[in-house]
Amino acid sequence: MTAPPFLPFALPEIGEEEIAEVVDTLRSGWVTTGPKARRFEQDFAAFLGDPTLQAIAVNSATAGLHLALEALGIGPGDEVITTTHTFTATAEVVRYLGADVVLVDIDPATLNIDPARVEAAITPRTRAIIPVHYAGLAANVDAILTLARCHGLKVVEDAAHALPTTCGGALVGTLGSDATVFSFYANKTITTGEGGMVVTRDPELAKRVKVMRLHGISRDAFDRFTAKTPSWHYEIVAPGYKYNLTDIAAALGIHQLQRARGFQQRRAAIAQRYRAAFADLPVQLPPEPAAGELHAWHLYVLRLADAAPLARDAFIERLFALGIGVSVHYIPLHLHPYWRERYGLDAAQFPHSQHAYERMLSLPLYTKMSEADIERVIAAVRQQLLQG
Ligand X SMILES: *Cc1c(COP(=O)(O)O)cnc(C)c1O
332 lies in the binding site for ligand X (CB under 6 A): no
Packing angle, helices 247-258 and 260-278, rounded to 10:
60
Point out the catalytic residue in the list 188, 207, 210, 242.
188
Residue whose CB is less far from ligand X, 91 or 385: 91
Query: Minimum distance from CB of 27 to ligand X (Å)?
Result: 27
First to last CA, the chain: 24
Query: Minimum distance from CB of 385 to ligand X (Å)?
Result: 27
Query: Minimum distance from CB of 60 to ligand X (Å)?
Result: 3
324 lies in the binding site for ligand X (CB under 6 A): no
118 lies in the binding site for ligand X (CB under 6 A): no
Among this protein's residues, is 188 annotated catalytic? yes
**Residue choice 173, 196, 332, 364 for contact with ligand X (CB under 6 A):** 196
**358 exposure class (CB count in 10 Å sphere: 0-12, 13-18, 19+):** middle
Query: Minimum distance from CB of 90 to ligand X (Å)?
Result: 5
Q: How many residues bind ligand X (CB under 6 A)?
A: 14
Residues 167-186 that bind ligand X (CB under 6 A): 183, 185
Which has the closest alpha carbon to 221: 56, 71, 32?
32
> Cα–Cα distance between 103 and 343 in angstroms, integer?
9
157 lies in the binding site for ligand X (CB under 6 A): no
Q: How far is CA 312 from the centre of its chain?
A: 24
- Residues contacting residue 260 through CB under 8 Å, at least 6 positions apart: 47, 163, 164, 189, 190
Query: Minimum distance from CB of 162 to ligand X (Å)?
Result: 9
Residue whose CB is less far from ligand X, 62 or 126: 62
Stretch that binds ligand X, among 30-38, 67-75, 153-161, 357-365 (CB under 6 A): 153-161
CB 300 within 8 A of CB 369: no
Stretch that binds ligand X, among 84-92, 221-229, 266-274, 353-361 (CB under 6 A): 84-92
135 lies in the binding site for ligand X (CB under 6 A): no
Per-residue string for binding with ligand X, 34-73, x by CB under 6 A?
--------------------------xxx-----------
CB 156 within 8 A of CB 130: yes
- Residues contacting residue 328 through CB under 8 Å, at least 6 positions apart: 312, 316, 357, 360, 361, 362
> Cα–Cα distance between 36 and 2 in angstroms, integer?
46
> Cα–Cα distance between 55 and 40 in angstroms, integer?
9
Q: Which stretches of the chain bind ligand X, using CB under 6 A? A: 60-62, 86-87, 89-90, 132, 158, 160-161, 183, 185, 196
Catalytic residues: 188
